[in-house]
Chain A
Amino acid sequence: MFRNNYDNDSVTFSPQGRIFQVEYALEAIKQGSAAVGLVSKTHAVLVALKRNAEELGSYQKKIIGIDSHLGIALAGLAPDARVLSNFMRSQSMSSRLLYNRPIPVSRVVNAIADKAQVNTQHYGRRPYGVGLLVAGVDETGPHLWEFQPSGMVLEYRGTAIGARSQSARTYLERNFESFENASKEELVLHGLKALRDSLAQDKELTTLNVSLAVVGIGKNFKLYDGDEVAEWLEKLGDTTSSRGGGARPSAADAPAGGAPVTTGDTEAGAMDTSE
């Protein structure tokens, strides 16, 4: 049952300097379905794959609007994401009430990072079991942040979290150079293509399992769900993985030199909290 003696709580380091409860929390993210985020000079886009636990059940919500300029995509424990999103909403509202301004994206991200960090340092607490992609626009332009239960947050030009997300990241790494000047449509399609690559062999993107959201400079956060996704899937064309089979990419798949797109490696760098 236990991996070792050092994972009973999140306040005890292992002799190797790891905090296992936090690492397990990062594993919870990988249990969740994939979510992709990417930014251009003018827009930020979130794309996510929804899952239903049962054939007759509804699909779990993957993208949550926080404010008119801000939203999140989640992978992992959805209830934990609700707690975080409610907190983000109240932060966002306070900013508007007190300062009469939409909260800067980095500020709200740092606020949840601080909350998450507390859980890694107090006995009897549990780290959040969810990873978030935060997409938003503020006075310094569009932004995409990744949040991890360790309390680590990093800004990206494009990244993906959740099950089989390495394939999506591989797509983003290969195409990130065209993101910056991409139109809204192109950016969404890049997102869908990245998400498509994370699909298992016999799966495809449908109006039922795709959620996507766009926010732009001067354009409110807009969530596309259900039938609203159809127009985008039409533009995408092929809705199955272009990678032929859903196998994990080998190390050779990654471009040489390591593109600067996804600097935080969720697979190995889980404990890179010292930076």
Chain B
Amino acid sequence: MRHGWNPYTDNGGSIIGIAGDDFVILAGDTRHTSGYNINSRDERKVYRLGENSSLVLATVGFGADAKDLAQTMRRAVEDFKFQHNLKDMTVSAAAQFLCTVLYGNRFFPKYAYCILGGLDKNGKARLYSYDPVGSYSKEGESRAAAGAASSLIVPFLDNQVEFKNQYIPSSKGTQERPVEHLDRDTVVRLVKDAFTGATERHIEVGDGLQIVTVSAQDGYQEEIMPLKRD
């Protein structure tokens, strides 16, 4: 019997992205695992693509591939800037590029799930999410989650961001609550709730929560909130 070597592993953790009207929030926990081991309690998953960029990438899955993708993207965004007279890459261009990179590795995939966020030229939020071989929606989306606890987080976001299964009280369950953009404080609260919940129920999620906000008003902001370390 020959035991084949597996070039992949799963380093746990989860990421979330939520787009508001003129801001986008990406967040990820800071736990890094191998099986039942916690390798690190402070390994971040959300990357800013360039020093003054509005582009933010969150990656989760196989840690080495995830970091390599982040580095590839950062390099591409930087390179674009120098090749195009210091103009920033647009978020839609970065989104298409990430798709190309991921599909370029179709036959030896980068085993990482990506969420890309940023502001377009009108200062409106854009959010894209990808599978490991690059499929994504050009229209973007309002919320996304990936990683170990995505199956716990997605239904929560369905309900709280898309208002799924919410009805206008007076309609006796016949009229759906209309979807609207959430304000920033609400979104930050949702992100924190999603992760405290996931931390309770998933062993690979915890330690710390890195929350990155990019808004037309306040630019780039980053916050670390402690999560349970058990």
Write the residues of chain A forming the contact surface with B, with a CB cutoff of 8 angstroms: 65-68, 89, 93, 96-97, 220, 223
| A65 touches which of B51, B75, B82 (Cβ 8 Å) | B82
Top 3 nearest A-B pairs by Cβ distance?
Answer: A93-B75, A65-B82, A89-B82
In the complex, the chain B residue whose C-beta lies closest to that of A71 is B82
Report the Cα distance A65→B86, complex, angstroms.
Answer: 9
Report the Cα distance A89→B84, complex, angstroms.
Answer: 13
A93 touches B79 (CB 8 A): yes
CB distance from A67 to the nearest CB of B (A): 8
Interface status of B71 (Cβ within 8 A of chain A): yes
B86 touches A223 (CB 8 A): yes
A220 touches B79 (CB 8 A): no
> Please, could you name 13 A-B residue pairs with CB atoms under 8 Å apart, sorted by A?
A65-B86, A66-B82, A67-B82, A68-B51, A89-B79, A89-B82, A93-B75, A93-B79, A96-B75, A97-B71, A97-B75, A220-B51, A223-B86
Report the Cα distance A103→B64, complex, angstroms.
Answer: 24
Report the Cα distance A193→B134, complex, angstroms.
Answer: 54
| Interface hub of B78, B79, B82, B86 (most chain A Cβ within 10 A) | B82
Within 8 A of A (CB), among B81-112: 82, 86
Which bucket holds chain B's interface residue count? under 10
Report the Cα distance A105→B82, complex, angstroms.
Answer: 18
In the complex, the chain B residue whose C-beta lies closest to that of A65 is B82
The contact string, 1 if C-beta is below 8 Å from chain A, for chain B 25-54, is 000000000000000000000000001000
CB distance from A157 to the nearest CB of B (A): 28
Which residues on A sit within 8 Å (CB–CB) of B75? Answer: 93, 96-97
Report the Cα distance A223→B86, complex, angstroms.
Answer: 10
Which residues on B sit within 8 Å (CB–CB) of A66? Answer: 82
Grouping DSSP codes into helix (H, G, I), strand (E, B) and loop, the B interface class, with mixed when no group exceeds half, is helix
Which residues on A sit within 8 Å (CB–CB) of B51? Answer: 68, 220
Which residues on A sit within 8 Å (CB–CB) of B71? Answer: 97
Which residues on B sit within 8 Å (CB–CB) of A68? Answer: 51
Which residues on A sit within 8 Å (CB–CB) of B79? Answer: 89, 93
Report the Cα distance A223→B51, complex, angstroms.
Answer: 16
Which residues on B sit within 8 Å (CB–CB) of A65? Answer: 82, 86
| Interface hub of B71, B78, B79 (most chain A Cβ within 10 A) | B78
CB distance from A19 to the nearest CB of B (A): 34
Report the Cα distance A98→B70, complex, angstroms.
Answer: 14
In the complex, the chain A residue whose C-beta lies closest to that of B71 is A97
The contact string, 1 if C-beta is below 8 Å from chain A, for chain B 131-166, is 000000000000000000000000000000000000
Which residues on B sit within 8 Å (CB–CB) of A89? Answer: 79, 82
Which residues on A sit within 8 Å (CB–CB) of B82? Answer: 65-67, 89
| Apart from A65-B86, A89-B79: 10 A-B pairs, beta carbons within 8 A | A67-B82, A68-B51, A89-B82, A93-B75, A93-B79, A96-B75, A97-B71, A97-B75, A220-B51, A223-B86
Report the Cα distance A96→B78, complex, angstroms.
Answer: 12
Report the Cα distance A29→B81, complex, angstroms.
Answer: 28
Which residues on B sit within 8 Å (CB–CB) of A223? Answer: 86
CB distance from A143 to the nearest CB of B (A): 20
CB distance from A217 to the nearest CB of B (A): 16
In the complex, the chain B residue whose C-beta lies closest to that of A220 is B51
Report the Cα distance A68→B75, complex, angstroms.
Answer: 12
Which residues on A sit within 8 Å (CB–CB) of B86? Answer: 65, 223
CB distance from A79 to the nearest CB of B (A): 15
CB distance from B78 to the nearest CB of A (A): 8
Report the Cα distance A140→B78, complex, angstroms.
Answer: 24
Which residues on B sit within 8 Å (CB–CB) of A220? Answer: 51
In the complex, the chain A residue whose C-beta lies closest to that of B81 is A65
CB distance from A146 to the nearest CB of B (A): 22
Report the Cα distance A97→B86, complex, angstroms.
Answer: 21
Report the Cα distance A68→B51, complex, angstroms.
Answer: 9
In the complex, the chain A residue whose C-beta lies closest to that of B78 is A93
Report the Cα distance A97→B79, complex, angstroms.
Answer: 13
Report the Cα distance A68→B71, complex, angstroms.
Answer: 16
Which residues on B sit within 8 Å (CB–CB) of A97? Answer: 71, 75
Report the Cα distance A93→B80, complex, angstroms.
Answer: 12
Which residues on B sit within 8 Å (CB–CB) of A67? Answer: 82
Report the Cα distance A220→B34, complex, angstroms.
Answer: 38
Which residues on B sit within 8 Å (CB–CB) of A96? Answer: 75
CB distance from B31 to the nearest CB of A (A): 23
Report the Cα distance A220→B86, complex, angstroms.
Answer: 13
Report the Cα distance A107→B226, complex, angstroms.
Answer: 43
CB distance from A152 to the nearest CB of B (A): 26
